[in-house]
Amino acid sequence: MEAHTGDRLLTHGRTVGQHDRVAEIVEVLGDGGTPPYRVRFEDGHEHLLAPGPDSVVQHTPAKDRNPRS
C-alpha cells in the first residue's frame, strides 16, 4: 500500500450494518508512502493507522494534495 499526504483512506465495514469510514491522510510515517499513516476523520479527530486488507487508498491528483508531504 502506498499513499501520499492528501489522499483518502477508505476502510470498509467488517460486519453487517457497519458503515465504511473515510479519512484524509495528513501524514505518511513509513518509508516510500507505506504505513503507518496519521489520518483525520470527518468529525475532526486524528488517529494513527496501519491499515489492513479491508482498506483502500483513494489517490488525489498531485495538484490537489496538501503540500505538507
Q: What is the mean pLDDT of each run of 10 residues along the chain (69 residues)?
A: 94 82 96 96 94 92 62
- Position 13 scores a pLDDT of 79
Q: Does the residue 66 lie in any domain?
A: no
- Position 32 scores a pLDDT of 93
Dihedral of CA atoms 13, 4, 36, 46 in degrees, nearest 10, equals -70
What total number of domains does the chain contain?
1
Cα–Cα distance, 66 to 69 (Å, whole number): 7
Q: Does the residue 1 lie in any domain?
A: no
- Position 64 scores a pLDDT of 65
- Position 69 scores a pLDDT of 46
Q: Does the residue 68 lie in any domain?
A: no
Q: Which region, left, alpha or beta, applies to residue 32 given φ > 0 means left and ψ of -120 to 50 means alpha?
A: left
Contact criterion met (CB below 8 Å) for 25 and 7: yes
